[in-house]
Chain A
Amino acid sequence: MTATERIWTFVTCLVATLVVVFLATPLVVTILTSFGSSSLFTLPPPSWSVRWYQRLTSVRGLGSTLLVSVEIAALSTFSSIVIGGLASIALVRGRFPGRTAIGTFLTSPLMLPGLVIGIALLQAFRFAGLRDVWTSLLLAHMIVTLPYAVRTIYSSLLLFDFTLVEAARTLGCSPMQAYIRVLIPALAPAFITSGIFAFLASMDNYAVSIFFTDAWTKTLPIMMLNLAEEQPDPTIAAISSLLIGLVLIFLIICDRAIGLRRIVDQH
């Protein structure tokens, strides 16, 4: 190894270490705080405890809020994968003008400020007489989740060899059967990863949700935001740590499905 190469290796490792530490800081701080006994966020905590996790059971409305968040995230993700998957097939297989424009349009909410979308929807739903919080949240969250579904499924479909579907048809499958038996299994990894990232995006969303929640029906991020403003104590850190754990599990599933490097490419 030459001297310059050694210097570069050293610099690489140094930069890598520093940035890994920097990026990990908020997550590590959250987890440490959640296991501390002090309510003053002292780090390192004077002693360890699980009292903030035990306190979660007594946070009023946490259960129903969590349920709303999961329901909305799961339903909007599922519908997005269905209509986004169909649209992706059209964009990849279709021979019609404006395909690129439609693709950009379907993924454009990713580029626009969430608050603006939220306000636009608030006014539109009010105009349409839609008052129900749950329905409003679902309709709005599909705007958040659909771009993830379209982006991932579209890029996987581009790599899909459609002669496989024809092969299935020459082997006695009707067109519908052929798609179900060949296309769906081949795209399963794409469905899983796009589903997970759409689900997380919905679970984390505050910018759109903030305009639709009320005192009775809210989503988890809105509740956390309220808690952070009203009574900041490590309870939020406990909720956050559980969410980090959820993300970790999801990422392991994604890694199994398509591998770490392709997750990176998706972003």
Chain B
Amino acid sequence: MSDRTPDRVALLALPALVYMVIVFAIPVMVLIGRSFFGPSGLSVTPYIDFLSDGFNWRVIFNTLRTAALTTLVCLVIGYPTALALSWSKGFVQAIMLVAIILPLSVGVIVKAFAWQIVLRRDGIVASLLMATGVWDEPKLLLFTETGLVLGAANIFLPFMILPIYSVLKLIDPSLQHAAATLGAPPVYRFFRLSLPLAASGIISGCSIVFSLATSMYVIPSLLIGDRYQTLPTLTARAFLLMRNERLGSTTATILLFLTIAIVMLTAWLVRRREVQT
């Protein structure tokens, strides 16, 4: 009867679990497994082939570099925003929340396409820089790395703001006052109090943005084009254009391991912080 239901209740997880195992876990495992199978059984030849090509190193480097730059821009803009969000109240806060949630809920293609327009030679950014005198003549930002990072940072910014905000809003504001009464100047308070307290939010924000930026596909396709290959664009090309599934499986697996490594690194960092504090 009812006290035994908790055990029978476990059966309710079965449909979802079975579905996810068959349609998700097994295919992903097979993908990983197959990338280690050459024509003559188990081997790492595909990886050796892949990594012995300088172009491919370039691709990996591009991927990580763009992701790192995007994360950095997001952090630099996102942290003050999260702070402002936690200080603000009422109407201002509501406006900010809408400004974060609305773009977050709009599809990536819509936003990436908009950035194609923004980054044109006659786009908003160029006009703005001309008007302020930073540029003397209009330049094309589209198809440059700067344009890519700017667009990606804009699209992923909410994923940086929200985790930091969720930590900041839990911090007791009286801590700031207490530190001030103890004679700590603002800069000292920032580095010794605000930043360490927000660290777990910063870590998870960076982790989310970094892995999103590592695996983004539409944004580089629309904002920088084929010249600049990253792991995801190369993966898609391998399958959709080159019909080279071996290459595609290899890059996909590298991408997968990269993402898993980020997740595990983050978990490790967070756990280490919890042990320390």
Contact = CB atoms under 8 A, between A and B. Distances in A.
Q: Do chains A and B touch in the complex (CB under 8 A)?
A: yes
Interface of A: 4, 8, 11-13, 15-16, 19-20, 22-27, 29-30, 33, 41-43, 83-84, 86-87, 89-91, 93-96, 102, 105-106, 109, 111-117, 119-124, 127, 139-140, 142-143, 146, 150, 197, 200, 203-204, 206-207, 210-211, 221, 224-225, 228-229, 232, 236-237, 240, 243-244, 247-248, 250-251, 260-261, 263-265, 267
Nearest to B79: A15
Contact of A120 (B27, B97, B108, B222): B27
Chain A interface helix/strand/loop/mixed: helix
A221 B113 CA distance: 11
B103 A8 contact: no
Interface stretch (B44-52, B190-198, B234-242): B234-242
B154 to A, nearest CB: 6
A26 B109 contact: no
Contacts of B102: 27, 244, 247-248, 251
A243 B150 CA distance: 23
Contacts of B108: 204, 206
B217 A207 contact: yes
Interface in B139-191: 154-155, 157-158, 162, 165-166, 186
Given A25-B114, A83-B15, A113-B215, A96 B100 contact: no
Contact of A113 (B14, B118, B239, B256): B256
A39 to B, nearest CB: 12
B157 to A, nearest CB: 6
Of the candidates B34, B110, B154, B162, the one having the most CB atoms from chain A within 10 angstroms of its own CB is B110
Nearest to A222: B109
B266 to A, nearest CB: 10
A115 B101 contact: no
Interface in B33-73: 34
Given A30-B114, A115-B235, 18 more contacts: A23-B99, A26-B155, A27-B111, A83-B15, A86-B15, A87-B16, A89-B9, A90-B10, A96-B10, A105-B25, A109-B24, A143-B20, A143-B24, A225-B221, A232-B113, A237-B113, A240-B109, A264-B165
A229 B112 CA distance: 12
A94 to B, nearest CB: 4
Nearest to B253: A116
5 contacts: A95-B10, A114-B217, A117-B28, A123-B31, A237-B114
Interface of B: 5-7, 9-17, 19-20, 23-28, 30-31, 34, 77, 80-81, 83-85, 87-88, 92, 94-111, 113-118, 120, 122-124, 154-155, 157-158, 162, 165-166, 186, 211, 214-215, 217-218, 221-222, 232, 235-236, 239-240, 245, 248-249, 252-253, 255-256, 259-260, 263
Contact of A221 (B94, B99, B109, B165): B109
Given A90-B11, A228-B222, A260 B98 contact: yes
Contacts of A111: 211, 259, 263
A77 B14 CA distance: 18
Chain B interface helix/strand/loop/mixed: helix
Nearest to A84: B16
A151 B196 CA distance: 28
B81 A15 contact: yes
A260 B94 contact: yes
A25 B155 CA distance: 11
A29 B110 CA distance: 11
B13 A102 contact: yes
A124 B162 contact: no
Contacts of B105: 197, 200, 247, 250-251
Given A119-B31, A210-B240, A91 B13 contact: yes
A122 B103 CA distance: 30
A113 B259 contact: yes
